[in-house]
A = this chain, B = another copy of it.
Amino acid sequence: MWNTITITGVGLIGASIGRAIRQRGLARRVLGIGRSPKSLRTALDKGAIDDVVPDEEAYGEADLIILCVPVDHIATLARTAALYAPDGCLITDAGSTKGDIVRQLSTLPLREGVTFIGSHPIAGSEKKGPEYLNGDLFEGRVTVVTPTLDTPDAPLLRLEAFWRSLGSQVVRMGPEEHDEALALTSHLPHLAASALARLLPIDYQPLTGTGFRDTTRVAAGDPEIWTAIFQANRAAVDAALGRLIESLGEFRQGLRAGNGTQLNSLLAQAKKVRDDLGS
């Protein structure tokens, strides 16, 4: 049982975490911090948080702080939070990249007594805002936690137990290893979907079926949030992009070869991977 959990950023993810905590009675109090009074109001109304208090107080009373903000704001906010947080406080996040944040925090560590450990719940939506909150969003999903060599055991185990209590399966990885994997499993699909979507002339809209819609769905995501993600994971995303361009080149070669054997075998490889993944 936690005493006070403070959530900074009550968008879809932050509000869903708050709601999930309250639904399961995992904390005595859930406090919300955010720049938008409207989002805080919605989060309160939808039962994502118990209260909104001044930031210093919300950080000052927390034994767990969860930063649910764009990845380029996480390291800075972790510092601010640490200024006010009590001894023994654990700070985590819900960002899609980890290496950049951990690097920023290792060059100028947080004060003694406060621990930051990165988290990435692999759950979300192209929708944004607390109005779409879902207290079961993490049920059956994977959450990656990314300790470093300096991370003490006790808060790591507490953090893993927290995500499990939200229904998540926890996977432990190094921050760089996480970023390399996510470049392929999340950042690259987003780029592929966006590169595809922008080629569609308006006249062709009626000629799209579920295939086009599924393949490009994530391109509706927020451009600012995704620009920050791509920039924070630039090297791995660049490498992944290179691999996709290469893979498309192989399909092109198969297409030009003419007899269909090569094309068929590439498609069969892809189908096998996709079938293994399930719906």
Contact = CB atoms under 8 A, between A and B. Distances in A.
A98 to B, nearest CB: 12
A38 interface: no
Contacts of A184: 199-201, 204
- Number of copies of this chain that the complex holds: 2
Contacts of A216: 189, 215, 270, 273-274, 277
Contact of A189 (B196, B201, B241, B242): B196
Interface string A185-216: 11011111111111111101111111111111
Nearest to A240: B199
Interface stretch (A29-37, A45-53, A79-87, A222-230): A222-230
Given A124-B210, A188-B199, A247-B195, A238 B252 contact: yes
Interface stretch (A19-27, A55-63, A105-113, A261-269): A261-269
Interface of A: 122-125, 141-142, 144, 169, 171, 181-182, 184-186, 188-202, 204-224, 226-228, 230-231, 234, 237-238, 240-245, 247-252, 255-256, 258, 260, 263-271, 273-277, 279
Nearest to A221: B271
A252 B198 CA distance: 15
